[in-house]
Structure 1
Amino acid sequence: MTVRVDVGEHAYSATLWEWMVLLSKATAITFRLLLKAAKAGRRDRKNGLTFHQYIAYQGMRDYQCGLNAVAIQNLLPSTSKTCEGFARRHRIANSTIRLPCGTTAQWLGPRNARKVVVLFHGGGYMSPALGEHVSLAFGMTDPSRRDAAAVILSYNLACESANRYPRQLQQAVALLGHLLHVEKVLPSSITLIGDSAGAHLLLSLVLHLSHPNPLVAPLKFAGRLSGAVLISPWVTMDTSAASMQFNKDKDVLTASSLEYWARNFLGDADYDSWNNPTMAPEEWWRDLLVDDVLILYGHDELLRDDTLVFCERLRAGHAKTTVLDFPGEAHVHMLMNRFLRINKPCKSAETLVNWMDNHLGDGDHV
């Protein structure tokens, strides 16, 4: 692979030959998926899934296992490009925040919005944001509905040899510091939202605010953040929970993919309280600098058991925490429901819309 000389979202760009190999792999995966579809036929209703869901979920698992991080990063548009496209489609303002460390973020919506939602997108720390991720920041509704702006962090994507922990936490801290001290957004006007690995980054950030990671610059401010939403949070790099096996045919993830992404993200770093929030001392959850916390996850997730254990720990220390488990839903179901064109009624999406309606009604920006 060719090393990029600029500070970009991903570290490597494919050469022409590497593109040919990449496209041949993607074609082979697609061909094998079509064979599986033909063998399954309309009669297949594994685990209560429709035929479309079964093939869509299988496709997600096959592409995760068949393509490495660099391949996926080269195949998909960058987070900034996706945000630009979202802004054009919805006819909202979009501008780029450029931080001194080389990190960029996209500001979507009015600069004088009374509320600011900061999104940390998921994707195993190795995939850029999808358009559906940007929708999460606006509560899965029309961006013009609320007097709110969304700020999407383009954190550096991990691969086998670059952009490893704690780089993404450093970038999240730098962005929040910029919003608070340069943009002069009040803490009470900021809501954090993250899904999967993005929720993991969110947890790392809120822990760092009260208990700084020695590898990351501390961030001081007066007050508390308005709220945080965690959707299908990735709370531990361990894959030994029973739900990893029990839900393997119901979810869009695979345990082997989670293990691969974790290796890329961690590199040679040891587990600690910021990269493995389940290790954080119980008292650390008592002084979080955030008010309302909402956690949503699906009952059919590989991550279900670990999420349940973590949520019990969080609720014991942070009383203003709401946790909801949705039967029949997979990993980040509200996003996958749209991305995979399943488009069935989604209870977690309805819950997010209602929560955002209640929390983004008032705010200040100075």
Structure 2
Amino acid sequence: MNSAPLLQAAGQDHLELLTANDRAWLAEVFAEDTPDPGTITLSELKALSPRERERFRRCRTRFLRMMPLLETPVVTEVMRTLRLLATSSIRSDLHQQDIPILDGEPGVGKTHILKTHAGEEMWRLALHRSLDLEDRTAPKLTTFRPVLYVHLRGPMTRYDLLRLLLDQLAWPSDRNPQHAFETAVTACGVQLVIIDEIQHVNFDGKTGRDVHNIIRWMSNYGLRVILSGTDIDWVLNAGGAPAVEVAARNSRGRWIRVDVPKLETRTGSERENWRDLIYAFETRLRLAAAPTTDGWLTDQFAEYIWARTQGYLNSVVLLINLAAAHAIDAGTETITHDTLESIDLEYEVERQRPQHVALLNARSRAGASAP
């Protein structure tokens, strides 16, 4: 592989040090290339040709869907922890890195947090490389890939994991992927490895022991590693053979648990934060017949949306996106209670829907009858 000349020259904008694919990924994570299509009236929408109407639909759907990470109190606290760990670390195989692991139920938004942090670190580490180039202390690289993000989708051995990381680097593997990964890390300037859905690894057997050990090897090698998953207590406390327990014990001594809970509305502050979240979605809606009153979605439906989603961020995203799509398909171009009622969500929240909506209706009736 030939070294890119840009990586050896100082004086360039630091983001230009990243690969084109990483820059495109960065722009997508932060929704930088998602233009606001603006709002039009219902009569203006009807006057559009079928081709232009579909163009407008595609643009407004993308604008709503491509929201950057929203700074809820949960997100703020988790991101603060990740940023502190990042800015206090150095790249050195003489200094072992502690490993944060995000723990939360499915649907609380861990993946969006991880991808946003990965984007921030790409930006920061590219800046650091530009400073090193100015100072003439930067090592020569084949290509510059400071951050790797992988999403596990099934059981994996340690070699499967290493080959997945090598695939992200477009680096060839051989019968010993660990040696190939060491070479690739040095040649590509890798500093951070993020592994999402770590619970897919079977940690109660030899495979789990080996994955524990390879993650620890990465941190010993000077890499920062961030993990994410569900039921992390099981991952760190799985029983089994003594060798498995030893590997888990070593991980417990290095892994830093970072809880990512779902959003709640028990206190006045939590309810206000929830309304702010719904308002953020409201500001991205581009429906032709939606009320022009600021806060219309929030004022009418914030409590209902919590009852339907129970604070799971992914469910909120799904509900509002599908409700907007339904409003467009039906030609109503606004979101009503009936629109929201027509949307089915993930099984886990849907199975609790009757009791939560009934509780909301009971509170509403009690409030309406109060003197």
Structure number with the higher helix fraction is: 2
Greater relative contact order structure (CA < 8 Å, 6+ sep): 2
Shorter-chain TM-score above 0.5: no
TM class by shorter chain equals: under 0.3
Normalized per residue, which structure has more strand? Answer: 1
